[in-house]
Amino acid sequence: MRIRSDIFLWLLILLGIILRMTDVGLPDMLTDEVQLALGKSAAWTPLAMQMIVAVQSIFGFETIVARGVSVAMGIATIPLFYVLARNFFEKRSALLATAIAALFPSHILFSRLAYPSIYLCFAWLLTLLCYIKANESVNRRGPAEAAAKVETGAFMWLIGLFIASVAASFMKSQGLVFPVLLLFGLLIEKRKAIVRDEVAWILLLSLIPVGLFFLTHPGVLATVLLYGGNMYGLSGFVQRISELVFTWWHLLTLFAIFSLISLRWFRALPWPVWTLLATIILTGFLLGPAHEYYSTHLILLALPIAVLLMRLTPTLRTLSIISLTITTFLFLGPHTLAPFAHHLYTNDPYWNTHTNKINEILKNTEEVYVLGYPGHHLRWYLEPRLHVGRFMNLEGVNGTFIILKKDKLPDPPKMKVLYEDARIVIAERS
Amino acid sequence: MPGMLPFLDSEVREKAPLAIEEMRKQGFWMVNTELDSISKEEGKVCYHWTHQYRSRFEFGEKEFITTCL
C-alpha cells in the first residue's frame, strides 16, 4: 500500500517536471525576459543575466534556450525542495511536500519563462537549507569524539550558506532581503550572544559583496528612486493589498485555499521558514503586487500544505492531492487541453508568427526608428538596429519607421506605408 | 567606487538627469549604455558613456560618447 502511494507521489513529481517543459516556446518573449536574455538591465544584480548569457553563448540566442535555463532551474528546485523538506519531515511527508511543490502552479508558470524570479527562488531555498544545516551543525558542537566530523560539517555548511546568500543577492537586487531578515531573526533569538555566533557573521559577510555592488553601480539605486513612491513602496496601501490578493488568487486558486487553511500548521515549522515567507510577501507587496512573478517563491507554501494533508485521513488526503493536480492541469496543461490556460498561452503570439514577414520587409534596412513606447522584446525579434524615436527630433529625418499602434500616435506626415497590420505600421520617408 | 565619488558634487547630481535626456535624444536604449566616468572641463560637467547596441542578432561595437553640460 505504502509503495503504491509512493509511486503515486513520484508520478505527480514527474508530471510537475513535464509541465515545466510544456509550451515553453509558445508565448512571445516579454520585455523583462529579453532584458534578462540579453544580459542588460541596470536595475538587477548580474548573476542571473550572466548565467543565461553564458548558456546562450553556447547554444544560441533563441527563445527556447533562454527559457530552457529557467526550465532547468525550475526542475532543479524540486530535489532541492525534497532535501529541504527532509529537515522538517520524515521521508514520506517530505515526498508529499515535494509532490505539492512540483505541482505548484506559479512555480511551473515561471519555470517556463525567462524571468530571474525562478533563479532567485532556487537561491533563496538553498540559502534557507544552508542556514538550517549550518545552524544545526554549529549548535551540535561539543567535546564528543565526533567533534572533528561535526566541525567539518559545520564548516562546509557555513561555506555553503555564504555562497548561497551571495548568490541570492546577486540573482536579483531584492535577493538580499532574505539574508538580512535572517540576520534580524538571529539578533532577536541570540541578543548579545550574536557577537559570538558564526552563522550571523557569515550572513553579515555575505552581504558585503552586494553592498559594494550597489555602491559602484548607480543603476540599482537610480531605479529604486525612479519607481519609489509609485511602483515601489507603501503608497496606495489598500490597493496594493487587493492587487496582491487578486494576483496570487488568480494564479493559485485551490492552492491558495489550501495555503490559507494550512497556515495554522506553519507553527510546526521553524522561524527561518516563516522569515522566507515574510520575505516573499514583503517583496511582492513593496515592489509591485500586480507583478505575477513574485508568486514564483510561494512554492514554499508546499511545506505547510504537506503538514495539513498529513493530518487528513488517507482518503481525504488522496482526494485533496487529486484536486490540486487537476487544478494545476486545468491552468497549466498543454494549451490545447487546458480550458483555463494562463492568458500567455491563449493570446495570439504576434511576434512569433509575424517576425519572419516583418524582417523580410526590413531586410535591406540597417536602422529603424521606433515611434511609441517600445518594449525590449523588439530587440529580440527585429534584425535592424532600432532607435527609440520617442525623444529624438525626427523632423526632416529620412529613413524607415515602425509605428506602434497601441500608443495611438498621430500619423507622421509624408511617409510611404510599406506594411500595416493590427499592431504596427512600417513606413518610409525619403 | 571612484566612479561614484563625483556624485558627491551637487552640480554633477543636478545635471545627471539632463545628461540622460541628451543620450535619449540620440535614440539610444539606455540599458545599452554605461556611465564610465565624469569630469569637469572648461566649467562644464562631462559625462563619459560607453554605448553598445545589443539585440538577439547583434552585440555591436562599443562607442564612446561624451555629453558636456
Domain count, chain B: 1
Q: Is the pLDDT of residue A146 over 70?
A: no
Q: Is the pLDDT of residue A229 over 80?
A: no
B57: closest CA of chain A, how far (Å):
6
From the list A41, A61, A216, the residue facing B56 with the nearest CB is A61
Q: Which residues of B touch A35 (CB under 8 A)?
A: 31
Interface test with A, best of B52, B56, B59 (most A CBs within 10 A): B56
B30: closest CA of chain A, how far (Å):
9
Q: How confident is the model at residue A143 (pLDDT cuts 50, 70, 90)?
A: low
> What pTM, to 2 d.p., does this model score?
0.93
Mean pLDDT of A223-247: 81
pLDDT score, position A148:
67
From the list A38, A212, A215, the residue facing B54 with the nearest CB is A38
Q: Does A387 touch chain B (CB under 8 A)?
A: yes
ipTM associated with this complex: 0.90
A213: closest CA of chain B, how far (Å):
9
A12-54 pLDDT, tens per residue? 999 999 999 999 999 999 999 999 999 988 889 999 999 999 9
Q: Which residues of A touch B58 (CB under 8 A)?
A: 385
Mean pLDDT of A215-221: 80
Q: Does A221 touch chain B (CB under 8 A)?
A: no
Q: Does A110 touch chain B (CB under 8 A)?
A: no
Shortest CA distance from B2: residue in chain A? A216
Q: Do A42 and B21 touch (CB under 8 A)?
A: no
Q: How confident is the model at residue A409 (pLDDT cuts 50, 70, 90)?
A: confident
A166-208 pLDDT, tens per residue? 999 999 999 999 999 999 999 999 998 889 999 999 999 999 9
Mean pLDDT of A240-262: 95
Three-class SS string for chain A? CHHHHHHHHHHHHHHHHHHHCCCCCCCCCCHHHHHHHCCCCCCCCCHHHHHHHHHHHHHCCCHHHHHHHHHHHHHHHHHHHHHHHCCCCCHHHHHHHHHHHHCCHHHHHHHCCCCCHHHHHHHHHHHHHHHHHHHHHHHCCCCCCCHHHHHHHHHHHHHHHHHHHHHHHHHCHHHHHHHHHHHHHHHHHHHHHHHHCHHHHHHHHHCHHHHHHHHHCHHHHHHHHHHECCCECCCCHHHHHHHHHHHHHHHHCHHHHHHHHHHHHHHHCCHHHHHHHHHHHHHHHHHCCCCHHHHHHHHHHHHHHHHHHHCCCHHHHHHHHHHHHHHHHHHHCCCCCCCCCCHHHCCCCHHHHHHHHHHHHCCCCCEEEEECCCCCCHHHHCCCEEEEHHHCCCCCCCEEEEEEHHHCCCCCCCCEEEEECCCEEEEEEC
Q: Which residues of A touch B17 (CB under 8 A)?
A: none
Shortest CA distance from B56: residue in chain A? A380
Interface test with B, best of A28, A53, A368, A385 (most B CBs within 10 A): A385
Share of residues in chain A with pLDDT > 70 (%) = 95
pLDDT score, position A291:
94
pLDDT score, position A231:
67
Q: Is the pLDDT of residue B60 over 80?
A: yes
A260-290 pLDDT, tens per residue? 999 888 888 999 999 999 999 999 999 989 9
Q: Do A381 and B7 touch (CB under 8 A)?
A: no
Q: Do A376 and B25 touch (CB under 8 A)?
A: no
Mean pLDDT of B41-49: 92
What is the span of the domain harbouring residue B58?
5-68
Q: Which residues of B touch A61 (CB under 8 A)?
A: 56
Mean pLDDT of A134-163: 82
Q: What cell numbers appear for A383 in the block?
A: 534584425
